[in-house]
Structure 1
Amino acid sequence: MTPLARAQRQLTAHPLAADAALAAGVLLCMLAGSFVDPHSGHSVSWRIRPPDPLSLLLMTLGAAALVFRRRAPMAVLAVTGTVSVAESVTGDPRAPVAMSAVVALFTVAATTDRPTTWRAGLLTMTVLTGAAMLAGPLPWYAQENLGILAWTGIGATAGDAVRSRRAVVQAIRERAERAERTREEEARRRVAEERLRIARDLHDVVAHHIALVNVQAGVAAHVMDKRPDQAKEALAHVREASRSALNELRATVGLLRQSGDPEAPTEPAPGLDRLDELAGTFRSAGLQVEVARSDDGTTLPAAVDLAAYRVIQEALTNVQKHAGPAARAEVSVVRVGPSLEVTVLDDGTDDGPQSAPGPQQGGGHGLLGMRERVTALRGTLTTGPRYGGGFRVHAILPVKPRTADAKDPV
């Protein structure tokens, strides 16, 4: 670090010491200026006679006030302006006490706003110049009087320029910090959304396949001794469900891998083209499932296709877990205008209506996950008990974007 940079850092860390050094420099300049003879022609002439005691006192007071210019700029301007007027009226006209007022005016302009600068600058220029011209010992047209007018104007203008530059630099810094915060918030929001989506996928996969494995394992344990053939078939279903769960888990977890990790499976996400396969897994577990579709030939967006599949999967899983082995489920997929309607009904248990657990009942996240999926696509989901027993899940998924979407507020 250079000595100049080191000195600048020390002065910045100790503003009072910097102001004291400035005040001492201004005092030296005023003392040196008091020896200059402005009426000596084109060459600079130095007078031997020092300034009188009153001028020395006024210069000292004006310079001393500058030590506190950062703490009370308006008060310092008032003090320096007063001693400048006193010097102009009664003191030695050689003593440039007005230099302290110029520095104080510069400080006011650099630390306040523009209207305050205009008012303080005009008042200082008018008072100091008027006092020097009307009540001073020199003629009103003397160059010392005109110099006061010029120097006060320069001080106010320079201070306003410094303040404007600081404001521009601060605005640029704030915009950069705000942009950085916005990028970080956007990154966090996207990470949270991705985590939520992966959590929904994991929940759907685990809840569906583990429920099937649990049912088939229970069947195998129940008929192992009396009907080994049926137990063998149930265990085969357990193995198939486990394999499917592992494959889907591998595909989902593969999304979390980094670019240098082994390549994840490229198998597409499940959709309604695998609806018959999905219903077959539940039928093999003992649940009676009927499927009715009127969407043949409809090409669905990938997000809608996946959401419809997951809604049906979660609804049938809830039927399997909560309605009992005697329940019967009906699945319908219907294309109605620009929307796809998915409905899953069940007739409940033999003892009463089936109640699928929501977050407020069983603590599960199935219904919440379905609702989040559908809402993310700007669809609607309706769930609730059926009259006479059973449960109903009804989802409306927009296949085509609505015309009003472009007008929705962001």
Structure 2
Amino acid sequence: MNRPTGEATRGPRPGERLTHLLHRDPGLAAHPLRADAALAAGAALLGAAIAYADTALRPDATGWALLTGAALALVGRRRHPMAVLAVIVACIAPYQLLGNAHMGTMPIAMAALYTVAATGTVRRTATVGAGVVAIAIAGMSVNGVHRAFDVFRTSGWLVAALVLGVAVHNSRAYVAEQRAAAARESERHLTEERLRIARDLHDLLAHSITLIGVRTSVAAHVLTASPDRLDRAAVAAALDSIADTCREARAELRTTLTVLRADEHGPLPDLTGLPDLARSAKAELSVDTHGVRVPPAVGAAAYRIVQESLTNAVRHAGPDATAHIRVEAAGRTLRVTVTDDGPVRAPAAGPGSAPDSGFGILGMRERARSVGGTLEAGPHPDGGFQVTAHLPLVPRPVDDKPLEATA
């Protein structure tokens, strides 16, 4: 079996893994006790190696015991950082007073100080750090180590651990704040999207649902008002009108769900927004629907087709090109034509292609198809480019499948 190769199969780099560990909340570690035990073992081994290498001040049995006790305390550093530091100081102080290798405790002390700084406030870190450094210098002085280099070296390592802990603490706080802000922004967008969808569904379906209720009441009245003189033709007409309205509402709901999946520009527009759209694009507009009611879904599809056509005209024909928009009702069809006089450009090769990298011809075809219409696009015989859409004024379902919410 072939195995994928390349960047996609590689794990995170060491630097990325270290950054993730530093920014991660310590309380979210998968195995905190195991990680702390490993750290304690590593600090103990490193400290023992440093102490053993100091042949002049190599620890005795008591010194090794104190060193081991200090290292074991690190296992609880994540849950009780201050208590662990106190235990470590209690072990290190007699260790130093007994004249053992003072640098042997440095890895353990640095790990404890880093934990205190990474999990606490800056004020607490400064107070604790000053006290620990003072104790360390005092212990070294009792041993007779008065050389400035040794004092500054020990103090420098301890201060470095404190500074690193403070930096990590601030970095984690910043990352947590950014994540919280991103979560709030995401929730705000979700709330706005829910409200927008609710408005769109209300605008598109309120009329149809109200009409169904009225016609149902009429049919019920005809059936009960004069049962001895039942007008079967009137009842049949009322029921047929209810069925037609239900099919129209079903088609509009299907179209709304389809368009809402792609639209991110606010409520669905309709033909009433074409004048402003044409004015902003400096296009000539002609609308003549002969008083025929245009369903909201069809109006939204027509608006988006005109919008995308004008966008493509500016993109391909240039800002100086003149565009002409004509919307007219012919029978039960709404014909939308957008023509520009820019340079001739290649038409779409087929239903699955588009001449541009954006929504393009393919997206406009999908919009027309969503309401049961068709769309053609290509060079105009007199030059330029033309988009022509034929949209049914009574939207019909594309198929007979039940409605499904689009993702």
TM-score by length of 1: 0.49
Higher relative contact order (CA 8 A, sep 6+): 2
The structure with the largest alpha-carbon Rg is 1
